[in-house]
Amino acid sequence: MNFTFYGHACFSVRTEGKTLLFDPFITPNEQAAHVNVDQIVADYVLISHGHEDHVADARLIANKNDATVVSNFEIVSWFTSRGIKNGHPMNHGGSWKFGFGTVKYVNAVHSSVLPDGTYGGNPGGFIVTSGGKTFYYAGDTALHMDMKLIGEYEKLDFAVLPIGDNFTMGVDDAVRAAEFIRCDKIIGVHYDTFGFIKIDHEEAKRKFAEKGKELILMKIGQTISL
């Protein structure tokens, strides 16, 4: 499984011959100015919730690649009414077997409105199982007790958690989240993009390490193998 970070909470996972792109927010992100959005490949675009910093480039990339947008019913309906050809609506607690593996849409504690003010349904996260591996992307969320259910029922190889604080959980709660989901390899997202979410990288890594966990903070444009 190849994992590429595109800044903020945008990343792609290449698995089973398909590319899954999550929460595309590239062109408005000054820190991702060196990423050429026209070169991003996606077979699926998975969207956790409706906020601008998670959907900004979704339509552009989905249409260019003929990709399928996967999100909650409200967000997929909004995109299909705006010219997206392929959408797969889900809702909380539901799973679907795609060609590359299984996706489950799970709870997040946050808000969700689309850029034009349309109701974006309840925000979520995803559990993806593909190619013999399982990972969890929490989306924008507070720490919540339902994460313990994920730890009980899934064996996660890695998880993608927001760590920037203010709009989502911060580092201390993300360490607790890693304990709830029983996962030792965490990729941090949703930090440093705006003034409210700047973090101390070394302190964050140390706090995870103190609990026997690895926090991976990637460079924008970097790809790692997981």
The pattern of x and - marking residues 1 through 40 that bind Mn ion according to CB under 5 A reads: ----------------------------------------
Indicate the angle between helix axes 58-65 and 73-80, nearest 10 degrees. 70
Residue 149 sits at φ, ψ, to 5 deg, of: -65, -40
Question: Whose Cβ is closer to Mn ion: residue 53's or residue 165's?
Answer: 53
Distance of CA 27 to the CA centre of its chain: 17
Question: Whose Cβ is closer to Ni ion: residue 68's or residue 193's?
Answer: 193
140 is a contact residue toward Mn ion (CB under 5 A): yes
Question: Whose Cβ is closer to Ni ion: residue 103's or residue 189's?
Answer: 189
- Find the part of the chain contacting Mn ion (CB under 5 A) among 13-21, 66-74, 139-147, 204-212: 139-147
CB of 23 vs Mn ion, minimal distance in Å: 8
CB of 17 vs Mn ion, minimal distance in Å: 30
CB of 78 vs Ni ion, minimal distance in Å: 15
**CA dist., res. 71 & res. 89, Å (int):** 6
CB of 162 vs Ni ion, minimal distance in Å: 9
Indicate the angle between helix axes 171-180 and 201-209, nearest 10 degrees. 30
43 touches, from Ni ion, Mn ion, none (C-beta below 5 to 8 Å by class):
none
53 is a contact residue toward Mn ion (CB under 5 A): yes
Please say whether the beta carbons of 8 and 196 come within 8 A.
no
Question: Whose Cβ is closer to Ni ion: residue 50's or residue 89's?
Answer: 50
**CA dist., res. 42 & res. 62, Å (int):** 7
Please say whether the beta carbons of 20 and 42 come within 8 A.
yes
CB of 167 vs Ni ion, minimal distance in Å: 6
Compute how many residues bind Mn ion; rule: CB under 5 A.
3
Radius of gyration of the chain (CA): 16
Q: Which residues form the interface with Ni ion (CB under 5 A)? A: 51, 140
**CA dist., res. 16 & res. 18, Å (int):** 6
- Find the part of the chain contacting Mn ion (CB under 5 A) among 48-56, 57-65, 92-100, 152-160: 48-56
Q: What is the dihedral of CA 67, 25, 22, 179, to 10 degrees?
A: -170
CB of 7 vs Mn ion, minimal distance in Å: 12
8 touches, from Mn ion, Ni ion, none (C-beta below 5 to 8 Å by class):
none
DSSP 15: E
Q: Which of 198, 132, 120 is nearest to 165 (CA)?
A: 198
Which residues here bind Mn ion, judged by CB under 5 A?
Answer: 51, 53, 140
